[in-house]
Amino acid sequence: MTTYVRALRPPQSQRADLVAAWRPTGPKTYTLPRVGAPGFPASIYPPPSSKTVNTIGRCPSTSGLGLPGTGTRAVAIAIARSFEHKSFIDDLRVSDRAMWPQVLLDWRKGYAPQPVAKVPVMYAGPLASPWPATLAAPDLVGLVWRCSATLVAASYAVVFGYLQQPAMQGEFLFLDRRGRVLLFFTH
């Protein structure tokens, strides 16, 4: 049986409407909130699309997507640097519902990726923009295009790594839904 404790958080600029959330207190007894659960409004965390794309899984919903804004870079880098290193609930708050099954699986297995806190940012910008020629980027545009052209236009990429080690790059893809920056893919 899972026991829940109501946890209040101070509002933050990216999460002003998230006032409360449910945290499991047992060991690895993580569950996903239902659509519209307290702290997870359906306008920000709608159900994912029914379309499935290899590697991504279910595509994010295109509901409420906007173009990345001026503050997207700083927020996206901060999310990427702390993702899977704070708490399960924090990861849900900064990720799109389409990514939640992977977040749940990682937390249940106790997966802890290498932190990117000290790894340099090689690229941060709109996914559809031209990338630096020195960057050995996979075809992320083609991958996201299989979901929708709308998602490609709304996506923001952050790539961490070193030029001397292109195989060790970490790619993070974000979307902007109603002013909230959400992670929807990592590689």
pLDDT in tens, the chain (187 residues): 333 333 333 334 333 333 333 444 445 678 899 999 999 999 999 999 988 776 768 899 999 999 998 899 999 999 998 888 888 999 999 999 999 999 998 888 887 666 666 788 988 999 888 877 767 555 777 778 888 889 988 999 998 887 777 667 788 999 999 999 999 988 7
Per-domain residue ranges for the chain? Answer: 4-186
Record the pTM: 0.79
DSSP per-residue codes, 50-110 = S-EETTTEEPPP-TTEE---TTHHHHHHHHHHHTTSS-HHHHHHTB-GGGHHHHHHHHHHT
d(CA 113, CA 186) in angstroms, rounded, equals 11
pLDDT in tens, 94-120: 999 999 999 998 888 887 666 666 788
